Amino acid sequence: MTLERTTSLRALVHEIVDDTPVFDIHTHLYDAAFGDLLLWGIDELLVYHYLIAEGFRWMDMPFADFWALPKARQAEAVWQALFLDHSPISEACRGVLTCLNEFGFDVKSRDLAKLRAEYAKWNTADFITRCCEVANVRKICMTNSPFDDLERPVWERGFARDERFVAGLRIDPLVLDWPNTAPKLRAWGYDVSADLNAKTFDGIRRFLADWTRRIDAQYCMVSLPPSFAFPDGGATSQIIEHAIMPHGREHGQAFAMMIGVNRGVNPALQLAADSVGATDVGAIERICAAFPDNKFLCTLLARENQHALCVAARKFRNLHIFGCWWFMNVPTLIEETTRMRLELIGTSCTPQHSDCRVLDQLVYKWRHSRTIIADVLADKYEDLAATGWQPTRAEIERDVHTLLGGAFEQFLQ
């Protein structure tokens, strides 16, 4: 292959990856109907928990003093520590600048007041559309918890859905903390007890069915610690086996497991307090083997688990792996992980989700990931071309659509 041809193939892949709308399958964004739960704007960008954790590497004020500040002052402290006193090199810092730049705001002035003034010209509805356009996102999956006291009443009241936002049913307290969750379900009218018996499993299934219908959930999901074991006879394992699995089969609903988070290792950091640990991928293989008629989505937080997870996906077609979650969402690891996935399971995966907490972040998370996905993909097509197999534009478009949400939709069908 000539250099010219190599260059044009690479350019074509980048063009197609940029032009293909993505289905962002896991975020913490909300339909505008949820009001203040949908975060956007420069101050929200600056107080993203990724940046707060990084800010505390430099800021010497006591944690409690920081948390006592109003949001605008917190944002200023982070701006000072991470953008003015040092160069904003980390992925999360760079992300803020990518957003500002793509919106056409003046990045180089380093003038927070000016940036705030730019944002003040926007309203929520128009800004949602702007972010979806700039990020080229066609659909956003929210994280919806019936256990969230701010969120639950909105669902109970009902609202006209924005079709760009679809729901994911989040059930961490149910899976991880049954003793404290049973009384809540009872208070909501479900006949459950602290005992994990047949009646309790029935009640949990009714709860899951009601919420699946109410929010039209794409899948139900939980985050799990590195110590997750299956089967182990504990409450988590029993609830999965006797309530979530039958529920999933009855409703054709996939179960998403996000594994590897050690919650609250430094509680003073609040939302930024969580850390990472490697898990036993054998537990994922056992659950996929035990429930061949259930579908599983999985993303793992530890780098050292990614290879075994790819191998698990080769063994179990009821397992769909997705995303470079949280601490994995840095260029070095996105590149490595995406390359490994393509080499082990081709395009039968979803290389990335954004995990955005702030609407604007759609722009940077997808800009950064798209560039890496396109580069890795271009390498792979060049390898094919070297054998004489010339990928066509239509084939590349098909593959990119598959990677940016198509495979996920097909898996859930």
Minimum CB distance to ligand FIX smaller for 52 or for 377:
52
Q: Work out the burial of residue 409: count CB atoms within 10 Å of its CB; fewer than 13 is exposed, 13-18 middle, 19 or more buried.
A: middle
Least separation in angstroms between CB 222 and ligand FIX? 9
Least separation in angstroms between CB 249 and ligand FIX? 25
Binding mask 181-210 for ligand FIX (x = CB under 6 A): ------------------------------
Least separation in angstroms between CB 141 and ligand FIX? 11
Asked whether position 360 contacts Zn ion by CB under 5 A, the answer is: no
Chain centroid to Cα 279, Å, comes to: 19
Asked whether position 274 contacts Zn ion by CB under 5 A, the answer is: no
Residue 326 interacting entry, from Zn ion, ligand FIX, none, C-beta within 5 to 8 Å by type: ligand FIX
Minimum CB distance to ligand FIX smaller for 143 or for 200:
143
Least separation in angstroms between CB 107 and ligand FIX? 24
Neighbouring C-beta atoms of residue 134, cutoff 10 Å? 17
366 in Cβ contact with 22 (< 8 Å): yes
Asked whether position 295 contacts ligand FIX by CB under 6 A, the answer is: no
Residue 360 interacting entry, from ligand FIX, Zn ion, none, C-beta within 5 to 8 Å by type: none
408 in Cβ contact with 25 (< 8 Å): yes
Residue 223 interacting entry, from ligand FIX, Zn ion, none, C-beta within 5 to 8 Å by type: ligand FIX
Provide the H-helix boundaries in 271-356: 281-290, 306-315, 331-345
Sheet holding 137-141, edge to edge: 22-24, 137-141, 165-170, 217-224, 254-259, 296-300, 319-321
Least separation in angstroms between CB 264 and Zn ion? 16
Least separation in angstroms between CB 2 and ligand FIX? 43
The kind and range of the H/E element at 297 are strand 296-300
Q: Which of 260, 323, 330, 334 is nearest to 297 (CA)?
A: 323
Binding test (CB under 6 A) with ligand FIX, winner from 20, 74, 218, 223: 223
Least separation in angstroms between CB 258 and ligand FIX? 6
Least separation in angstroms between CB 235 and ligand FIX? 20
Asked whether position 355 contacts Zn ion by CB under 5 A, the answer is: yes
Q: Work out the burial of residue 153: count CB atoms within 10 Å of its CB; fewer than 13 is exposed, 13-18 middle, 19 or more buried.
A: exposed
3-state DSSP of 141-194: ECCECCCCCCCHHHHHHCCCCCCCEEEEEECHHHHHCHHHHHHHHHHCCCCCCC
Q: Tell me the torsion sign for CA atoms 256, 317, 397, 218.
A: negative
Binding mask 28-47 for ligand FIX (x = CB under 6 A): x-------------------
Q: How many residues bind ligand FIX (CB under 6 A)?
A: 7
C-alpha–C-alpha distance, residues 76 and 97, integer Å: 15
Binding mask 230-269 for ligand FIX (x = CB under 6 A): ----------------------------x-----------
Minimum CB distance to ligand FIX smaller for 80 or for 270:
270
Asked whether position 357 contacts ligand FIX by CB under 6 A, the answer is: yes
Asked whether position 326 contacts ligand FIX by CB under 6 A, the answer is: yes
C-alpha–C-alpha distance, residues 166 and 142, integer Å: 6
3-state DSSP of 184-211: HHHHCCCCCCCCCCHHHHHHHHHHHHHH
Asked whether position 368 contacts ligand FIX by CB under 6 A, the answer is: no
Least separation in angstroms between CB 93 and ligand FIX? 15
Burial 233-244 (b: 16+ CB within 10 A, else e): eebbbbbbbbbb
Q: Which residues bind ligand FIX (CB under 6 A)?
A: 28, 143, 223, 258, 326, 355, 357
Interface residues with Zn ion (CB under 5 A)? 355
